[in-house]
């Protein structure tokens, strides 16, 4: 449990109490956790796996965020009391989630103000990213949007390797198109260009960025 960032400062006894409140749920790849518009009274923490947060608009999917180990989601409906889910959630890999009921979550927050602060900070960070996405969608060309997406994913899901940063997600070109407001063919073309330019390469269906600085230079200049 101490492995979730917002529990790191808690005492052993508190941790034990919290873990008794969790309901463990295991999902195969591609399963729905909840749908946009449903009432929600649980928050989820990701023990392991990958979660896609998305909305459907005019039959196309828009990916708002991808979460991995140690992240939480579903806090909005829970904190806003009686509100419905603002987006849908499904698994992109087999995932193990810890579900926490509203009542338990509330009593946890009341007893540990630090946790509220950490959740607030995380949601502010998500708001920043959402602002960035809006700006990207309205002004930037597709190539710049795809590069920014890669940089963002590297920050969130990247692991340092000898020859660069590996984005630890298996994403289809369609999913990357759903994250950048473009079409699959455009993503395919841009990824091929970036490979030709030796800025990225593909390793077992995952994207490896040779040098973050070089990729940043492409969009921000020197």
* Contacts to ligand CMP from residues 118-147, by CB under 6 A: 126, 130
Rounded CA separation 91/100 (Å) = 18
CB nearer to ligand CMP: pick between 19 and 131: 131
Residues 39-68: x where in contact with ligand CMP by CB under 6 A, - otherwise, as a string: -x------------x----------xx---
CB nearer to ligand CMP: pick between 33 and 146: 33
Q: CB of residue 21 vs ligand CMP: minimum separation in angstroms?
A: 18
The phi and psi torsions of 18 (rounded to 5 degrees) equal -65, -45
CB nearer to ligand CMP: pick between 55 and 206: 55
Cβ-contact 127, 70 below 8 angstroms: no
Give the HSE-up count for residue 94: Cα atoms under 13 Å, Cβ half-sphere: 2
Stretch that binds ligand CMP, among 17-25, 73-81, 146-154, 205-213 (CB under 6 A): 73-81
Q: CB of residue 95 vs ligand CMP: minimum separation in angstroms?
A: 15
Cβ-contact 132, 34 below 8 angstroms: no
* 90 interacts with ligand CMP by CB under 6 A: no
CB nearer to ligand CMP: pick between 178 and 200: 178
* 179 interacts with ligand CMP by CB under 6 A: no
- Per CB under 6 A, residues contacting ligand CMP are 40, 53, 64-65, 73-77, 85-87, 89, 126, 130
């Amino acid at each position: 449990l101490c492995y979730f960032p917002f529990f790191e400062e808690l005492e052993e006894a508190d941790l034990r109490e919290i873990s008794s409140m969790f309901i463990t749920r295991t999902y195969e790849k591609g399963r729905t956790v909840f749908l946009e518009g449903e009432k929600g009274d649980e928050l989820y923490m990701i023990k392991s796996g990958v979660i896609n947060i998305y909305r459907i608009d005019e039959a196309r999917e828009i990916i708002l965020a991808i979460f991995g180990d140690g992240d939480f989601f579903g806090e909005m409906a829970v904190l806003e009391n009686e509100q419905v889910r603002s987006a849908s959630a499904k698994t992109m890999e087999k995932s193990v989630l810890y579900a926490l009921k509203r009542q338990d979550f509330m009593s946890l927050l009341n007893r540990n103000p630090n946790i509220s602060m950490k959740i607030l900070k995380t949601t502010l960070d998500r708001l920043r990213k959402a602002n960035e996405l809006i700006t990207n969608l309205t002004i930037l060309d597709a190539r710049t949007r795809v590069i920014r997406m890669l940089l963002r994913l590297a920050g969130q899901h990247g692991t340092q390797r000898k020859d660069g940063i590996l984005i630890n997600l298996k994403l289809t070109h369609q999913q990357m198109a759903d994250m950048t407001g473009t079409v699959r063919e455009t993503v395919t073309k841009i990824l091929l260009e970036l490979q030709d330019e030796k800025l990225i390469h593909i390793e077992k269906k995952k994207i490896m960025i040779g040098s973050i600085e070089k990729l940043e230079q492409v969009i921000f200049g020197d």
